Amino acid sequence: MTSEALKFEIRDNVLSIVGKDTPEEKELKAFDLLVRDIGKAYRAELLSKEDLKELARSFGDDFLNNTMQGFGLLKPYGYAGDFMMIDKIYTQWESGIPKYKIWDEYFHNHAAPKAVRNRKKYFKKVFSNLASQTNDELHILNVASGPARDLLEIMEMAHVKDIPVFATCVDIDDNAIQYASKLLKPYEQKVSLVHKNMFFFSPEYKYDLVWSAGLFDYFNDRMFRIGLSKMKKWVSPGGTIIVGNFNKENNPSRDYMEIFGEWFLYHRTKDELIKLALDAGFERENICVSSEEENVNLFLHIKMPA
Ligand SMILES: C[S@@+](CC[C@H](N)C(=O)[O-])C[C@H]1O[C@@H](n2cnc3c(N)ncnc32)[C@H](O)[C@@H]1O
């Protein structure tokens, strides 16, 4: 098949699914296969970037303005993965327009949004393990905190269990900081929110846990190393740095994110994360990599010597 014929066939197939008032399960499965084929055709250079753009927009303005997939593509705050998008993933937001609900369910059932929800669970688990080892105050730094719903749930847990915890959130986007400050209002005495680029951030204290998910996979290797080395000064002796990154070896949503959301991330393997940590000056014995249940988000752990 010529590239032109393939383009038409793919466009027709996409339109035939998009055109349905309410696609059924089998049509959404067909859409999954289509996404995979589009990804393959793009990598084989049978489709151009422009073709992908046209396909992503073939869903139409109404769809794009009222669905998770559309918010992802339109980027109302100017960048992929803004605080609102992430919070809509956490809360599994669905369109009030009945015919689009199924598309939002489809979105939330993808591996990547599941992994995002899992990373909140992961953060909470790390926190409870830490809290179980001490009665002292715990100090957490959440770098690129976005909506900070993860921290809100940690503060709620700490409140119920009477765990003394203080936290700082840093984010480059003032809208994210404003949003997080509303969410964290009940804990305003214990949480400070800092509107800053992490590369210009220099905290007054050191933290037991420095956590950052959904940031380092936007960085190239050079920025990754610089960001990670900065964190060395922010963590207490015996404390831990944890940095999340999408897994190069397992992200079944990658084509969907890139083609229909124009959401591009630096995916990395476990070994690549370890190498970056070594290059940033950490010792091998203090480094390990783990993952959430979907194995789509990896977590680089660095335990500082006491
Ligand atoms: C994908 S969200 C992740 C939010 C949150 N960590 C979570 O997982 O729920 C990425 C966040 O990184 C923030 N961000 C991007 N570059 C940053 C930088 N250089 N310094 C601080 N925040 C940054 C964005 O504003 C956005 O809120």
**Cβ neighbours, 10 Å, residue 187:** 18
With a cut of 70, say whether residue 141 has pLDDT above it: yes
Query: Does residue 131 sit in the same domain as residue 240?
Result: yes
Query: Does residue 274 sit in the same domain as residue 142?
Result: yes
Query: Does residue 279 sit in the same domain as residue 157?
Result: yes
CA atoms within 13 A on the CB side of 39: 17
Query: Does residue 121 sit in the same domain as residue 251?
Result: yes
- Choosing from 36, 58, 80, the residue where a domain stops is 58
The strand pair at 191-195 and 207-212 is best described as unpaired
Mutation test of ligand 1: which of 153, 170, 173 has the most ligand atoms closer than 8 Å to its C-beta?
173
Which ligand 1 atom sits nearest the alpha carbon of residue 199? Answer: 19
Asked if residue 277 belongs to a domain, the reply is yes
Task: Give pLDDT, residue 11.
Answer: 83
Domain of residue 205, CATH code:
3.40.50.150
Report the separation in Å between the CA atom of 263 and the middle of ligand 1, taken as the mean of its atom positions.
14
CA–CA separation, 114 and 240 (whole Å): 25
Task: Give pLDDT, residue 14.
Answer: 82
Task: Give pLDDT, residue 237.
Answer: 97
Q: Is the CB of 217 under 6 A from ligand 1?
A: no
Q: Is the CB of 242 under 6 A from ligand 1?
A: no
Query: Does residue 130 sit in the same domain as residue 262?
Result: yes
Q: Is the CB of 261 under 6 A from ligand 1?
A: no
- Choosing from 35, 58, 81, the residue where a domain stops is 58
Q: Is the CB of 144 under 6 A from ligand 1?
A: yes
Of 42-51, 108-117, 200-209, 275-284, minimum mean pLDDT range? 42-51
Number of domains forming the structure of the chain: 2
Of 40-54, 83-97, 211-225, minimum mean pLDDT range? 40-54
Q: Is the CB of 239 under 6 A from ligand 1?
A: no
Cβ atoms of 151 and 169 within 8 Å: the answer is: yes
Domain containing residue 241: 113-303
Query: Does residue 195 sit in the same domain as residue 259?
Result: yes
Name which residue sits closest to atom 17 of ligand 1, judged by CA: 172
The percent of residues above 90 in pLDDT, for the chain, comes to 87
Task: Give pLDDT, residue 1.
Answer: 63
Which ligand 1 atom sits nearest the alpha carbon of residue 244? Answer: 8
Task: Give pLDDT, residue 4.
Answer: 79
CA–CA separation, 11 and 119 (whole Å): 35
With a cut of 80, say whether residue 38 has pLDDT above it: yes
Task: Give pLDDT, residue 113.
Answer: 98
